[in-house]
Amino acid sequence: MPIALLALSLSAFAIGTTEFVIMGLLPNVADDLGVSITSAGLLVTGYALGVVVGAPTLTALLGRLPRKRTLLILSSIFLAGNLLCALSPNYGILMGARFITACAHGAFFGIASVVAADLVPKEKRASAIAMVFTGATMANVLGVPLGTFLGQDYGWRSTFWVVSGISVIATIGIAVLVPVIEQQNQPSFRAELAVLRRKQVLLALLITVFGYGGVFTLFTYITPLLTDVTGYAESTVSWLLVLFGVGLFGGNLLAGKAADRHLMPTVYAVLLALSLVLLAFSVTSENKTAAAVSVLLLGATAFGTVPPLQMRILAKAGDAPAVASSFNISAFNVANAAGSFIGGRVIAAGYSLPVLGPVAAVISLVGLGIAVYSGWLDAHGKPADRDLPAGPDEGTRTTAGGTADDIGTSPVEAR
């Protein structure tokens, strides 16, 4: 894998840490800024909204620029947002800073996925995308726990100062290591937006929304499930969440390698496995050992969806990969928000926490059904559903080491 992917992965680590570490610092933020825990919790919601809105918006505004320059601008916006978080004198400015940071989040992952796929041969594209998202998985394993401990001991602002420092290093890494990719005949944003009229692209987005939606239907309430039902102490749950992060890391890499060989079979297998793991929680949550294993498997199958689903939409976007990829990042966050809302409605209706498992499984199974239909169209649908106008096998890029296939772009030059 090109060393440039390490710079993208480090940025993903900083982004993932910023997104999730706030959950462990909500009491500290609430006490320091004089707001309720409920109000502090809206910092999570505001961030998710920023990702959904920011991904397509910033991609549209920056779409005509070379992708390396776009990545540097997005990384700089993310850095500025984190610095503003660390300096925020009140709740309103902190909310605005989180929103700004989140806007860069969605667009960065969307563009980084395209760049990563462009940097490697065709048979390694899903693995390259997985390499980028490895940073996000490591954020859950290391960044969030360490950031939480740091914020609790030295003040919540210290966490954002450290993340800002990591972001500076990552930005320098992108500037030095990521090659300049010249895109000739770059389509306008309106032309790229037309990709949303393609049935297979819309189906790919729906696969993401439903397939991943089951994850947060359960995971949002994983702590009360493990304490109230399984019987773990609250202090133990933190270590179980590290176990979840280890699953994210392994599932992400393994699914990336599998998707390089057989994309749609990997999508089917991961979504089926995810549905079975979610369903099993209705039983395994009653036993401490079984619940711990289920947490690990939930992490593996949850993030095992990311590389193949990102690769699927890139393959179907053809000559408009950037916008489609960014919309898919938004789709993941729509899945987070919708899943969390559905899980809350189930609990509010009076059902017990273990019921969340089967409900979540049904949602992910809907995603699997859409994936099967999409795969069927590949073989039996109309030509427009099967063939790409400028797909992943068309175009080349010239690098210092030779040529490789490029996703949906004209020849590019790496310097």
pLDDT at 117 over 80: yes
pLDDT class of 185 with cuts at 50, 70, 90: low
pLDDT class of 188 with cuts at 50, 70, 90: low
pLDDT class of 244 with cuts at 50, 70, 90: confident
Q: Domains in the chain and their CATH numbers?
A: 4-405 (1.20.1250.20)
Q: Between 318 and 386, whose confidence is greater?
A: 318
Mean pLDDT of 408-413: 36
- Tell me, what's the pLDDT at 191? 67
Kindly give the pairing relationship between strand 402-405 and strand 396-399: antiparallel
| Pairwise CA distance, residues 407 & 119, whole Å | 10
- Tell me, what's the pLDDT at 195? 76
5-50 pLDDT, tens per residue? 999 999 999 998 998 888 778 778 888 998 887 677 778 778 888 8
Task: Take residue 83 and report the two structure tokens written for it.
Answer: 């610095």
| Pairwise CA distance, residues 35 & 25, whole Å | 13
319-347 pLDDT, tens per residue? 777 778 888 888 888 888 788 888 888 88
pLDDT class of 407 with cuts at 50, 70, 90: very low
| Pairwise CA distance, residues 62 & 341, whole Å | 32
pLDDT at 253 over 60: yes
| Pairwise CA distance, residues 87 & 156, whole Å | 11
| Pairwise CA distance, residues 267 & 226, whole Å | 29
pLDDT class of 383 with cuts at 50, 70, 90: low
- Do the Cβ atoms of 329 and 277 come closer than 8 Å? no
121-170 pLDDT, tens per residue? 888 888 888 888 888 888 877 888 888 888 888 999 999 999 999 999 99
Q: Between 174 and 53, whose confidence is greater?
A: 174
Compute the mean pLDDT over every residue in the chain, rounded to the nearest whole number. 83
| Pairwise CA distance, residues 85 & 147, whole Å | 14
Q: Sign (positive/negative) of CA torsion 220, 221, 227, 229?
A: negative
pLDDT class of 390 with cuts at 50, 70, 90: very low
Q: What single-letter amino acid sits at 145?
A: P
Q: Sign (positive/negative) of CA torsion 70, 76, 79, 84?
A: negative
Q: What single-letter amino acid sits at 171?
A: T
Q: Sign (positive/negative) of CA torsion 220, 275, 108, 343?
A: negative
Three-state DSSP class for residue 403: strand
190-231 pLDDT, tens per residue? 766 777 788 899 999 999 999 999 998 898 788 788 888 888
Q: Sign (positive/negative) of CA torsion 119, 120, 122, 123?
A: negative
Q: What is the pTM of this model?
A: 0.77
pLDDT at 386 over 90: no
pLDDT class of 389 with cuts at 50, 70, 90: very low
Q: 234, 223, 217: which is closest to 277 by C-alpha?
A: 217
Portion of the chain with pLDDT greater than 90, in percent: 34
Mean pLDDT of 59-69: 82
| Pairwise CA distance, residues 171 & 75, whole Å | 6
